[in-house]
Every structure is written in C-alpha cells, then in structure tokens.
Amino acid sequence: MRFNAYLQLRWRCFYVASQQLMQQLRQLLLWIMLLGPALAALGFMLLLALGLLYQPELTATERLTLCWCLLSGQTLVLWLYQQAILASRYRLFFRSFAIAPVWQRSVDILLMLVCSPILVLHTFIIAGADLSHWHTVLPQLCFAFLQPLFSYSALYRPQLTVTLLLLFLPALWLLPLQFSTGLGVLAFIWLCSLLPLRPPLPKISSKSPLLFWCQLWRQQMAQWLSRLMLILLCLLIAYISLKQRPDLAALISFSAGLLLLLVSTSMQLSSNNTVQLYQLFFQLYPASLKHWQFLPPLLLTLLSGTLLLLLGPPASLLALLLPAFVVSWYLAWRKPQHFIGGWFAASLVSSGLYILLAIG
C-alpha cells in the first residue's frame, strides 16, 4: 500500500471517529448554537494568551502559569481525540497491510497536528514574527519547542502526562522558579512521561460501601484527572484574567464559577454509567448503596468552590451559583440528555440574579 492511500484511509477513520465523538457530545450542539460567538471568542483568547506570553511585564510565575495552561489545554484536547487519531478500533485491520512503522508514526503526528490548535496558532505567530531580536524571547521559543514534545507524549501517554503536569503545579506556585528554570523542569517532566512508569495503586478492600465505591472510582481515574485539570485550568485562566482586568473581578469570578459547576456536576454522568454498568449487582443490595454515586460531583463542586474563594469573590456572588448547581446536578442525575441545556438555562437565571444584584 502506498503512503497516500494509507493516509487517506487513516483520515477516513479519523473523520468517522470524530463524527461518533460529536454524536456522544451531541448535547454540546445546543451550547454551540446558543453560544456561537463564543467559538470566535475562544480563538481570540488563545491568541491573546499566546501574545501575553511575550509581554515583558509578566512575572516568571505568571508566565509559567500561562505555559502550564496552554500545555494542559493542548493535552486535554489530544486526550479527547486520542482514540480517533490512533484509530485504535482498526489497529488489527491496519496490521494486515504490513504498514511500515515510520508511516504509522508519521500519520499519527499529522493527525495530532490537526487536533492541536494551540500549537498551530503559536507556530503561525512565530512564523509571521520579526525574529531579528530572537535572543530577547529565547525562553518563549524554547516553550514553542516543548509544545510538540508534550503533544507527542499526550498522544501516547495521556494519563501519565496529565498526572505529571498536575504534580508540577504546586512546585510552580510554591518555589520561586525563574522562567528558564521552569521550562527546564517542564522538559524534565516530558522526559519522565516517556518512561515506562506505572504508579502502584493501593489495594482497597470492600468491607464498607465507601471502600467498595473507592474501587469503582479508581477505575475512573481518567475522569478524575481530566476534570481536576479542567478545574485548575479554568481557575488559572480566571486568575490571569483578573491580573489583566481587575476592574472586572466580579464578572470573571462569576463566569468561572459557572464553568466550574459544569465541569463538577458532569461527574454525575460518569456515576450514572457506573450504576448502569453494574445494575444487576446493585439490585442485590439495599438502594442506599447507590447513594454513594453522588459523592464525586459533590466533592468536585466543594473543591471548585473552595478554590474559587481564593480569587476573592464575595460570598453573595457564590450564593448566586446555587440555582445553577441544583438544576445542573439534578438533570445530570435524572435527565442526562438535558444536562447541557439545563445548565445553560440555570446559568441564565443565575446571571439574571447577578445583574439584578449589581443594579441594586
């Protein structure tokens, strides 16, 4: 088989898998239709974030935080599209063609670039920039070199890459790292992500309902890690926005709170899948055993609210998020097909209360 034919076949598989992924996320179509301009705003925010990276007035911690956000967002997108990029469902079929490994890796990287908008935008910015004074932005150029490396590790080792990035965040905030030193630590993290590391998981007995559910939650480690990174990503973006526009502190905190509720309460969807998967098992035990399914979204919501308080919003502002939380969590539990629409409607109600409170 020629390389062009193999590339076309892989592209077709990627397209079909992407269509299936969008069907699974069909609730987001309502969000996209109602918030169509938000897509353009998202692209503008990416360009703004990449532009902030080159502003000299940013501190080293703020610049490293921005780098962490860009790498984390890029990693989450690639993790979402990993199965579509690698065509995991058709691997055995492709092996029957005796494809050269270099062809397979080349197509993987090409499809990876298709799903890496942050990397592509940064590449275009560098390509169109005047690099006559390149030595003044050498660390930023080194970060641009790290981006495809992290994309590669996120494609083949997403869970380990996310875990290492999460572990890097406390060091970023607790240690006074210079920007170049922080990039060196990120490079070391990337090297660690390529090692055949498999963190040991402790054995958990099922002597109590909580320990039994801990075993089930351990099987959902990808869901926990991705949502935890989304929560931190949302908070850090809000923090960077507050640094740029402190006059919009209340609005930024309120908007971040609504997004945090969306991420946190969506964990109930994973709990629903767990209960449905082991439905026959749960029928053998009291109904109270299923009540533990509500703990993950509540814990994530509590964590989100606690971290949101670090941004300094007033308590009355957080109280306005309660209607959105109740409606979103209930719909995620009872009517998951209306979850996104319900969250959007509840967000409008909370936003209306926010406007009335601001006017009053």
Taken in order 237, 154, 184, 132, the sign of the CA dihedral is negative
Domains in the chain: how many in total?
2
pLDDT values of the chain reduced to their tens digit, one per residue, 360 residues: 677 888 888 889 888 888 877 766 655 555 554 444 444 555 656 667 777 777 777 888 888 888 898 899 899 999 989 988 988 888 777 777 767 788 888 889 999 999 988 888 888 887 777 667 666 677 788 888 999 999 999 999 999 999 999 999 888 888 888 888 889 999 999 999 888 877 666 665 666 777 778 888 888 888 899 899 989 988 888 888 888 788 888 888 888 888 888 889 989 888 888 888 888 877 777 777 788 888 899 999 999 988 888 887 777 777 888 888 888 888 888 888 888 778 878 888 888 888 887 644
Q: Does residue 192 contact residue 145 with C-beta atoms inside 8 Å?
A: no
* Cα 266 to Cα 332: distance, rounded to the nearest angstrom: 7
Same domain membership, residue 305 and residue 222: yes
In a domain? residue 93: yes
> Which amino acid is located at 281 in the chain?
F
Q: Does residue 209 contact residue 215 with C-beta atoms inside 8 Å?
A: no
Same domain membership, residue 213 and residue 103: no
Whole domain around residue 93: which residue ranges? 1-197
In a domain? residue 202: no
In a domain? residue 80: yes
Using the 3D structure, point to which of 197, 232, 259 is the last residue of a domain: 197
> What is the pTM (predicted TM-score) of this model?
0.86
Same domain membership, residue 223 and residue 127: no
Rg (CA), the chain: 22
Same domain membership, residue 273 and residue 314: yes
Using the 3D structure, point to which of 130, 163, 197 is the last residue of a domain: 197
Same domain membership, residue 243 and residue 140: no
